[in-house]
Structure 1
Amino acid sequence: MREQTGHPQRVTTMKAAVCVRAGGPEVLELRELPVPEVREGWSLVRIKGAGLNRSELRTRQGHSPDVRFPRVLGIECVGVVAASTDPLLPDGTTVAAVMGEMGRQFDGGYAEYALLPNSLLMPLATTLPWDVLAALPETYLTAQGSLDALGIEPGGKGRLLIRGGTSSVGMAAASIAAGYGIETAATTRRRDKTDALAAAGVDHVLLDDGEHLADGVHEIWPEGPDYVLDLVGTATAVDSLRLVRRGGTVCMTGTLSGWLIPDFEPVAMIPSGTRLTAFHSDNVKGSAGRPLLQRVVDEVEAGVYRPNVDRVFALDDIAAAHRYMEDNRAAGKLVVLP
């Protein structure tokens, strides 16, 4: 996927969704900004799509103390290089970028152009449409990294429980696990999302009402799952440690319920022999993540993995996209196209 960009230096302004202060979705304002100028070590990327993430929602709400407003949010994007001083990044190269303080310490993906560190850019070979490609980087790198942290491998054995299954990462993890041949269960709090989980390859869909999940899990797996991927976060961490079989592994990846576990006592709360680990997608940014993301892209093109795009928004509708995300209406990935 390549594109002739022409002479981007002649383009002087761009549309961008600017978070002007902490608050509700209305603080995301569409503005006309100057197109950033290329400098050494950074490349100008013409953004073709950006996935939405709940971390951006929390930043918008004011829960990221290191972020100063106004700021163009967006911790990931895909697009084409419009200008660069790096000969390894010629104009028209398809790239993806995730994390690395993108959308936090410097402007991110909610714009038509972004000036990004070369170290974050992952050149890709693909024919996928932009909305599908935009749904992959942060979500699939996180899902794949989490399964790696759990020790789950292709053709392996074991039973995997995904908590927060209809999140974008949950759907991606289910898709990868199905490709691996792993027996999978996933939770949702909404009955209207069960079909989406089944379509993603989940073997057992469990409604989590906050009280009887253990009964449902033990009905299908009396000893409990071998692995738990917890995408809900701190509110369910201790319960996940109780659910996994003795000697199994829990991976904390999600932060849907916050970052801190109050009054956490590891010796009392981690059953003897059970393992607790975590994954953060900052571990697979830039050159470290490029081979993994290329593998994901190839699997999506081959039909092995499903991209699980729930809805695509225009940049002009970014406030509506955040409302949709904040209301937990999505079953899969939300994407914005400039």
Structure 2
Amino acid sequence: MVKNLKKLIEQVAKEKDIPEWLVERALKNSIALAIKKDRKIKNHVEVELVEDEIRVYLLHKGEKVPLNIVPEEMNRIAAYAAKEEFLKELERADEERRYLEFVELEGEIVLGIVRRIAENGDLIVDLGKAMAVLPKREQIPKEVYKVGDRLKALILRVVRKRGSYEIILSRTHPNFLIKLLEAEVSEIKEGEVEILNVVREPGERAKVLVRSRDTRIDPVAIVVGLKGTKIAPIIKELSGERIDLIKATENTEELVRKSLAPAPVTDIRIDPKTKRVEVAVPRDKLSVAIGKKGVNVKLANKITGWYIDVLSEEDFRKLSQMK
């Protein structure tokens, strides 16, 4: 009996392009369901295919109790299960296979089509082999979608939910920007230029810390490309998100100055004990240094790991005199 079932598993796995272990699990589940129906059992039933026999256990209070079923009865139940319940279980196994493929793609970019917009703003996205969700919180705030729109997104994670799987997408995660850069800039993909850190205010601004394996090569120029040809498509994909590229350096003063670009820093005071930095900028450049809603300085804090206090040149001097 079991030998026949093993052959059935191999055949179905080959025909349906489903891993044998998934087919076997589907078959065992279908036999267990058939036994429960036949004997009107409410407890959980576990089935094992061992050598030349089918072993059935009743799970009761954490214990596996063998369930005695004569071979003739088992043959009848197994035959019924293979015809009726097995098809339903196979559908579940096939769905699981499709989602398991996406587990291996976690952290990669996929293309999809918006099929539905939920009341809470979440997008239901068709990835071809499976459906995914782009939650409202993972969408770039300024973007507006409609059914039929095509979009790129990062597979953030694949989670098991209510006995099924859910693929969660993101367009706001820093890794989405990293993957876009890898796709556009071959030097990053090949390891010649390394991305050390990425911080984002999605749709507004991002700062990317980069370094080159060859110190003679400017990694910023490499990533930007000739006349911005490499960075421009990424900015467009991110709905105009400004991307500040910063060349990594061990010099804290230099790093802080670069992180506050495009604002010019005219003076700087560093306190290593508190890891605070006070910078002076021309009064008319204060808003540029701080950025809209404080975005520029907030991202500069994150990318450098220092707390940066932006002051006008006048206030910087006054503070210096007080100290």
Q: TM-score, normalised by structure 1?
A: 0.24
Where is the helix percentage greater, Structure 1 or Structure 2?
A: 2
Where is the strand percentage greater, Structure 1 or Structure 2?
A: 2
Greater CA radius of gyration, 1 or 2? Answer: 2
Q: TM-score, normalised by structure 2?
A: 0.25
